[in-house]
Amino acid sequence: MLVINKPAGLPVHAGPSSQKGAGGDNLENYFDALRFGLPRPPALAHRLDRDTSGCLVLGRHPKALRKLGRLFSEGRIEKTYWAICKGAPKKPSGTIDAPLLKTAHGKGWRVEINDAGKDARTTYRILGERDGFCFIEAKPKTGRTHQIRAHLAAIGAPILGDPQYGVLTAEDRTHPMMLHARRVIIPISKNKEPVVAEASPEASMAHFAEKHDLKL
């Protein structure tokens, strides 16, 4: 497998979010450069949103992809995200247990908390708070689309720069979305310690945190 630090703003694969006229750029366009001697390029073992940066796991061949797929589906891969949010939750740490349902929204879609949705759980803790912003570490226990974004918004801490969730001012939306996949822990072998990979946040997130004394 490979773990790469995905840049924000680039979709992982072709689709509506990457189309600009006739098609659009996406991360899979560059996978051929990551073969490192193998006959085929790696492939995605999971997904990250277009505007989320950080740890993205790739399988280098079909057998690896099947194993990684099982580990993700069984919830055995621990994922840690960093987020800079507007406002702060009432509790400094906790578990958000709220089902999520994909619904139509304007010309697109979003997920909403709804009892008819799929089970979704996220643990979080506040690592820093200043100037009306907070720095949150979040760990999704399930793998639902937009899970962290919707869950943090639901407890009063929408992610800064997120165009879909929470109530943000026009100025807040000028920032890139400040959600970063900080760490993955992958138990790839029964006889070895889990593989731990960490990715540094993008410069925009690091600079904002430094400006507001939110130590990453």
- 115 part of the active site: no
pLDDT band at 86 (very low <50, low <70, confident <90, very high): very high
Does the pLDDT at position 119 exceed 50? yes
Q: What's the pTM?
A: 0.93
How high is the pLDDT of residue 173? 85
SS3 content of the chain, % helix, strand, coil (to 5): 20, 35, 45
pLDDT in tens, 123-151: 999 999 999 999 999 999 999 999 999 99
Do 1 and 182 meet the contact criterion of CB atoms below 8 Å apart?
Answer: no
Say whether 21 sits in a helix, a strand or coil.
coil
Asked if residue 153 has pLDDT above 60, the reply is yes
Question: Which two tokens mark 106?
Answer: 């304007």
Is the pLDDT at 80 greater than 90? The verdict is yes
Q: What is the pLDDT of residue 23?
A: 59
The SS3 assignment for 173 reads: helix
Domains in the chain, ordered, with CATH? 2-211 (3.30.2350.10)
- Active-site residue, selected from the candidate residues 32, 49, 119, 162: 49
* Rounded Cα distance, 17 and 11, in Å: 7
Predicted local confidence at residue 118, as pLDDT: 96
DSSP sequence for 133-168? EEEEEEEESS--TTHHHHHHHHTT-PBTT-SSSS--
Q: How confident is the model over 93-102, as pLDDT tens digits?
A: 999 999 999 9
Residue 56: name the closest of 113, 7, 129, 128 by CA: 7
Residue 216: pLDDT above 70? yes
Query: Helix, strand, or coil here: 34?
Result: helix
Exposure letters 140-166 (e unless 16+ CB within 10 A, then b): bbeebebbbbbbbbbbebbbbbbebbb
CA-to-CA distance for 85 and 79, rounded, in angstroms? 19
Give the span between the Cα atoms of 70 and 66, in whole angstroms: 6
Q: What is the mean pLDDT of residues 24-40?
A: 95
Number of helices followed by number of strands (H, E) in the chain: 3, 11
